[in-house]
């Protein structure tokens, strides 16, 4: 899914919420689904999404875009304020 398709799908979900066709919980689910699909098919120029699979509780599950696993770990450490310890990431596919 490209960025424009993702934005259209989010807009559609928002419109359904505003028209009373879905609850806030359903809106969250739809938007989360759009974002998960977008990330899993993301194609950047020399970068890819990486997810933390092992490390401090605050970091596990965090997804960042980076050129490689080393850069991904560095970005997560900056974003989540994690110092030291094991931080394992895997490429999102």
Enumerate the domain spans of the chain. 3-40, 48-91
End-to-end CA, the chain: 13
85 pLDDT tier (thresholds 50, 70, 90): confident
Cβ(91)–Cβ(68) below 8 Å? no
> What pLDDT is stored for residue 15 in this prediction?
98
61 pLDDT tier (thresholds 50, 70, 90): very high
Q: Is the pTM of this model over 0.95?
A: no
Q: Render pLDDT for 26-46 as a digit per residue (tens, 0 to 9).
A: 999 999 999 999 999 998 899
Phi then psi for residue 57, to 5 deg, are -50, -40
């Amino acid at each position: 899914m490209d960025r424009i398709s993702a934005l259209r799908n989010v807009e559609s979900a928002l419109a359904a919420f505003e028209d009373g066709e879905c609850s806030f919980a359903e809106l969250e689910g739809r938007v989360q689904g759009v974002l998960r699909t977008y990330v899993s098919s993301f194609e950047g120029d020399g970068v890819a999404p990486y997810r933390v699979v092992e490390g401090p509780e605050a970091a596990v599950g965090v997804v960042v875009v980076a050129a490689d696993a080393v850069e991904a770990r560095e970005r997560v450490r900056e974003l989540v304020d994690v110092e030291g310890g094991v931080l394992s990431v895997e490429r999102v596919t």
